Copies of this chain bind each other. A is one copy, B any other.
Amino acid sequence: MTLKAQPGGRASSAPLLGNGTEPTIFEMSVAGRSSHQLRTTHVPAMTLEELVPSAHLNPDVVPLAEVSERDLVAHFTRLSHRQFAVDLGAYPLGSCTMKYNPKFCDSVAADPGLNSVHPGAPAALTQGWLRLMVDLEEKLCEVTGMAAATLQPSAGAAGELTGLLLMRAYHEARGDVRRRVIIPDSAHGTNPASVTLGGYEVTTIPSDERGLVDLDALKKVLGPDVAGIMLTNPNTVGLFEEEITEIAAAVHEVGGLLYYDGANLNAILGVVRPGDMGFDIVHMNLHKTFATPHGGGGPGAGPVAVAARLAEYLPGPKATKLADGTFDWVQPANSIGRVHGWHGNAMVLARALAYIDVHGGDGLTRVAQHAVLNANWLRHRLREVLPAAFDRPCMHECVLTASAFKQQHSVKALDLAKRLMEKGFHAPTVYFPLIVDEALMFEPTETESLQTLEAMAQALEEIAVEAAATPELVRNAPTATPVSRVDEARAARQLIPTEDAAQR
């Protein structure tokens, strides 16, 4: 009798009972065991050989895990106990807007009246979905101050690339060949990557000592070959580009378009709109601003809204309200085409609409106000411990610098972040944006309480003391977590991307 398979009923891997490792599902597998049940169909049972010519049949069977339902549940429940999440505590990850995701919005998405609808079903049979999409588009346009939107892009980066293709289509329709897109050096890495994939060259402009776009530097690189500029506002250091009107005028003057990276939209909801600032194209991260859960890295949704003169190029088909009050799929006149296999991440869209409807215009404004309040409070509260990279009022997030710790105690931003996790908070974003030395980027979001912010500030004060007194403690953190600091270099050096590679 061989007992090599790992027990599924042992919880030693659950942090509840110490921090052993959890076996992989394959290690728990025993040949012949199973969970699955299939309904009774009475369909005649032809053999595989009768069904498919043998040239197509796999002579082998693809091995998967063979576990009981009990072990399946135990394994994934225990894995969930090895995972931090918003639902467990504060998650001040800058640029990510890890706010509380209302459970109500999940319940909307769990309704089979929405989620059991086939995307290819004729429009006549999916009027509810089309109406929902039209309603959402309208509300996103109001929030951004734009004229029309596509709901197809699956995430922020997909929205960026869609936006760049719109830019290209717009210029090309004018017979206008342009080559470059301008990006500030503080931009998120997806921006330049999207520019490249959009077929443009990146021109990087430096930020000035205020952490803002250097208007003069910008003007210097502007010219008739500039297709546009990509900005976030507030930008990635959490500051509002106060000269945005001037920036917009300068870019428009050379015939360029302004692209708004909406990752930071949470800061300005109901306060100021990208369209009013002069932006022509805007993507939104519904998984950030509109609180659709991040799912451990997705799904998201990255709708793109545009000014009226760009509407004809939007991806299609688009859900559209017809004159007779019914809804149908309509292709914009000069659409760039599809950017999604179907109509976008529909269930994410539904969640976001529910979130918007609950808040209404007034509630969205309060969201921005409180997000900005929390970030400024935290920035100010921490000023003695971790100074802000740029000493001015921030928007929804603040970028602090640990360079003093590095110089004085050889304790890096990463060390502080890791230690913070042991004190009950997720780490902030570290080393982003690249222009700030030893950056720690905190985005508390509006859903954290003052008490939580205070506790986090106190934890950071404690860590500051530790960094001076017992720097090793901080450098070796975390140790109380399910695993201690992970050897990232080894993972890359000695790549084991699958169980099968591990076995070799």
Contacts and interface: CB of A to CB of B under 8 A. Distances in A.
A9 interface: yes
Interface residues of A, number: 61
B5 A451 contact: yes
Contact of A482 (B16, B77, B82, B481): B16
A322 interface: no
A82 B100 CA distance: 21
Interface stretch (A196-204, A324-332, A392-400, A418-426): A418-426
A16 B15 contact: yes
Interface string A140-156: 00000000000000000
A452 B7 contact: yes
Contact of A74 (B8, B73, B89): B89
B88 A14 contact: yes
Contacts of A450: 1, 3
Given A7-B454, A69-B102, A13 B449 contact: no
Contact of A88 (B78, B100, B423): B78
A18 B90 contact: no
B82 A16 contact: yes
B451 A8 contact: yes
Interface in A1-55: 1, 3, 5-18, 20, 28, 30, 33, 37
A106 to B, nearest CB: 11
A14 to B, nearest CB: 5
17 contacts: A7-B451, A7-B452, A8-B452, A9-B89, A9-B90, A9-B425, A9-B449, A9-B455, A11-B88, A12-B424, A15-B15, A17-B480, A69-B100, A73-B100, A74-B88, A77-B88, A78-B89
| A-B pairs with lowest CB-CB distance, top 3 | A11-B89, A12-B424, A9-B90
